[in-house]
Structure 1
């Protein structure tokens, strides 16, 4: 067997060994039973909080420290990070992210040694724009489709080209709903009333598409929530 073969085998063994250590460390902290687990909104960051058990409510001060740490990690690193926040608020990174992150202190964004925190590549930007356009186009179709209702009326009949939707002014008080409403709630009000249809769930793909299309028509406008 040639040298390249053994080099590849050695690398694979090293990768598997490193991954096994990472898993065992993470499992160890979870099994200790005295650590509260908090995850970031992107699902890629996990913090084990020392001094608090699962289901236990943190103090406001500690919760803010955890929130600051999660936000810092999201800002500087797009990869998965598993870390332990000690009682003195020092941080131990458990997985291989420790190779690219220096000593962490919550509330102070660390300086990256290598990789992570860099601008998105042209390929990524192109993908993002393509996905956004796809959703806008889908929203345009739904906006012009009378099947949302039961009487033949579609959204564009009252709002040609999404005019007078003013997405940038939400949330705001709506007299129809007699409360402060989000754009999605107003979309549903229109579906239930002028269109006489069934309202959409807020995470329904059609709702997401409608919101994306309507919001895209107000691109460049200043955000003015509450404005009438």
Structure 2
């Protein structure tokens, strides 16, 4: 191969690579607010997770602010989470060319589920696997069995691609605030005070802890897929 031909081939290769749409690692929100990525950025590999989205009313956000004030009075600084959701999978590494197949598998497995209600009825403390961040979460009680069945179906899809499944004996929850580091022990000491704030909120806003689940979401890199329930 001549030098000129080699150079032409090399230029074509770079042009093709530029046309591949990938999430921008520099703009990854996981790098904001002291967060770290669950795994290093790899070209052609997209962070993917399945979840139920929740758009909180203003009253709910006011309750979260009260929780933050109580925590701050005990020396624990919490920040409101960037997006409210109930996870149905871990965050896994999905190769770009697997995405259409994975989405089709999810669509097939979730097509039989009907809409249902989830009720969040108590507070608990959670940490990420890396123990770099601690979360204050609202536990799902009503709707738990339905969440478990859906998570099992999502696990079936993940296994098709040899990806890690969800946690055993999961505690389905909606994270509302978090802090940097492993702070479970400290927050558990004030959990009773925090639960008082939450229960007072429920007494005056009895519907704000309920989520009517009409769709399941899957985010892969910068792509969002939704699956409507019957």
Higher relative contact order (CA 8 A, sep 6+): 2
Q: TM-score, normalised by structure 2?
A: 0.26
Instruction: Name the structure with the higher helix share.
Output: 1
Instruction: Name the structure with the higher strand share.
Output: 2
Q: TM-score, normalised by structure 1?
A: 0.26
